[in-house]
Structure 1
Amino acid sequence: MCNRELLVIHVDNNFQVDGYPEEATYGNPGSAELYCDENGEWSGQPPKCIEIKCTVPPIENGHVPDRNIQEYKEHDVLRFMCNSQYKPTEDRPSRCTKVGIKAEWTPTPACEPITCKLTLPPLEGTRYESVSRNVFLPGETLRVICGEKYWISNNQESAVTTCDVDGEWTIRPVCTEVVCSNQRPQHVYNWEVSYWGNHQSKMGETKRYSCETGFKSTDGATQATCTRNGWTPNPLCQEITCDRKNIPEADVISENKQRYRYYEQVRYRCKEGYQGQFTLTCRGDGWIGNPRCTEITCDRKNIREADVISENKQRYRYYEQVWYRCKEGYQGQFTLTCRGEGWIGNPRCTEITCDRKNIQEADVISENKQRYRYDEQVQYRCKDGDQGQFTLTCRGEGWIGNPRCTDTCPKPEVPHGFAVGPYNNTIYYTCNKGFKLFTNKGWWAEAKCNDNGLQQCIENTECGETPVIPNGKLVTPQRQNLRHIQARITCNAGYSSQSGNLPCRGGKWIPDNISPKDICTPTAKHCKPPPKVENAVVRTSYQKEYLSNSAVTYQCRDGYYMEGEYKILCNNGKWEKKNVTCTQITCDKKNIREADVISENKQRYRYNEQVQYHCKEGYQGQFTLTCRGEGWIGRSTCTEITCDRKNIREADVISENKQTYRYNEQVQYRCKDGDQGQFTLTCRGEGWIGNPRCTAHDADAHDPNKSQ
């Protein structure tokens, strides 16, 4: 028996006898055990501790890159590489490890062919297209199809994944349940989802929500639904915007843009011809406000002293004009224009009056006053020494009537006769016995008072006035005895006489064996009156006969002009045949760039027709043209409306500065130092319009050195 106390086993310092060999902390102890033999001695040599070391193992289809290391200590990692198309069989690194009393590589370094593994059967919500194996080589593909509420890469319902050269699938072949983020979507105010909870909303679940101010839910939704594409509707909230509202009767006077945001306001001012201004506000249900412009109209203005001569209607629109002509008893005409402030213009008719007419020879016997109104009459009676009375009437051209007083009619002296009267301003006279009146037209005659043309009374044996002979005349020589006088016969052109004189015998003119009508006879055949021409007359006195070689001239009536010949000649009893035609005078409408026709507007006008024009906006004036033979007559003048520059003491011009501005041109002013603000003036027909106002800046309100 071996005495453990006596028989001591001598070992190295790095060896501990107590315990089991596999619990050694420093290598192998050599022999696994020593025992006491029958001789009372320990069998074998005392054990020695050897350091734990691992050598480089052979690796099929692989190798260790670092060939300089042949031994590894405990816990060292073996870094090895597998050949192409191979990979380590274990994902864990191989370490030098004491296993029992030995040192081994754990796990064993080994290489296996690269493959991709597949879990069969597939997980819930995942299925594979036509698959009966679970190992795939690099390059092989697999279609993964997800269930109704599952998805795979990029939220797809299916995907094709490929076994890569590293043995991994390009897309993990597992479908996961469709879920939606708990994070509150942008612009959502109330959100029925807890961001901090672990529960994620699944496909088909709905959550109530509301949007922030200035945003509205898409399509009016009140619930969000979790779908494969996330929360719908997408986006849950849309910014409230309003497209610019174009209003035909108004212009935007605030910032003008195509789209406005929630609660933005747009101010409008009604256009010319309308009145008012209003503001629209962009809200959730669109524009709110009352976009109202009232059309400017003017009710017809009835003026007691004038009548409307243009289109007469009950109501007129902005800028329409109405022409008035003053009634009888008044003079003048005028135009009123419908504008924003009502009718503008000077509706003035001047009453026709006449100052009393003082007549030296007569007195007023009706109402005597200084001034008389239109159509009033004033009666006058002639003063002493005159006779009669008369009436004058006040009219547009002044007093009308015959203001005449006649002196008392004196009775004339009639040599060899006598006169009676006057009766009603007329005297009657005759000759004494043995005498006759010179004219031989009766035994008495009459004359008006103060008429100096009384006939002489001649003896009955004397010849008086020569008779009238057709187609000629008789000329009595002067200073011949009226008893033995002869009258010389002078025939008209185209006539001749066989005798040259007509003798006076026994107080009578007696031709020699010939009738007085045959004294002058024609030298050629006469023509009957010339042919009638429509719308024309002959410019000579009418005659039953016209001498040969005499001519007549036709004259067209007013409003017609002559075409062809205007004169024809009588030739031995026949008139020349010529084309004599009167054609009506017309004028084509005259278009004037600066003016519009305000009377009847037609394409062609007749002779003497008048056309009234009114100058267009930007010009002033009105005029009338008359169609005459030489065309349109009248002065067609429109004066362009301009405004001289307005100098304002408190402000400077900041737009184009010039001396004269045209109609509708605008000038911008900026108030000078000490004042604030700016304003705009516009050149119009009535001059500059606008509010040229500068507001004084209250400097004292901001001066800390001034006491209150």
Structure 2
Amino acid sequence: MQPSKDICWSLTIGMVQLAFMVLPVQAQECSKPIGKPNMVLAEDSITKVTFGDGTKAKFECATGYIRAGGSLSVTCTAGVWSEVELTCEKRSCGTPGEVQNGKYILDGILFGAKATVTCDTGYKLVGSSVRNCLVGGWDGRVPVCEVVKCGKPPAIVNGGPVSPPEEEYNYRSVVEYSCEKDFTLFGAKSIVCEKDGKFQPAPPECKMVSCPTPVVENGVRTEGRLPPYKHKSFVTYKCNDGYKMTGEASLTCEKEGWSASIPTCKAIDGPTDPGPTDPPAANNHTWAILGSVLGAVVVLCIIGVIYKFRDRFRVGYSGNVATNISEDREL
């Protein structure tokens, strides 16, 4: 029985020694290493659960990131990994390109960024308005901004576009209208193709314009045509003698009617008869002076006549006396 106890004891001691020999070996292994953000274990290392002493594990940058520096690998030494030196940064997609008649609004050019397209006024987007910065660069294609187009311009009665209408018009194209003979254009003469693909403002209208024949009593037409009076016709009137005009002498037929009210001719008032009333007191002195002057003139005329006859009488008398004396002497 004694030999069996020795054998058991020997086996026990051997097992303990073996355990002490195995433990140091197990303590030298490393579990999976943990890297920094934005990196993962490489394919040849990711499947392992433990790493023996002195073995290496390899990292690589995560999707969308690129190596910025540092070693890719770490080493297991006595159960401890060496420091991770690898650094990763976001991949750059660069410029998304140029958009003709539009532009990008960017929130960055690194992995995960977005580029939103806006077209200029009068242009519309064809395709997606957003591009994403992915591993391989910007996704999708450079979008296209096409010019907005308008269809045929509206037709109008008694008129139409000056030039033959086309099937479509580009943004900011202008269409000009005109009216047929004897019709007048009301509203905007031209319309424009706007950013919403419609013409603005509303097209004009063509209407017949006529004005009633003016009636000016006690007056005559001196200029202008005979009725009917259409748009822009004009007439000029003059009053008869003894009448005075009130209002505008010339009228023009406008869209809303005559440019002014029809003039009138009113009789000119003559001087009033004062009747047999005495002259105003203010004129009495004037009449007195005038009467004195006239009286003096009459007196002077009478005196002149008297003197004239007296001289003639004296000449005649002297001749007669001389004749008588000579006759007496002869006797």
* Higher helix residue share: 2
* Higher strand residue share: 1
Normalising by structure 2, we get a TM-score of 0.47
**For the pair shown, which has the larger CA radius of gyration, 1 or 2?**
1
The answer to which structure, 1 or 2, has the higher relative contact order (CA under 8 A, 6+ apart) is 2
Normalising by structure 1, we get a TM-score of 0.25
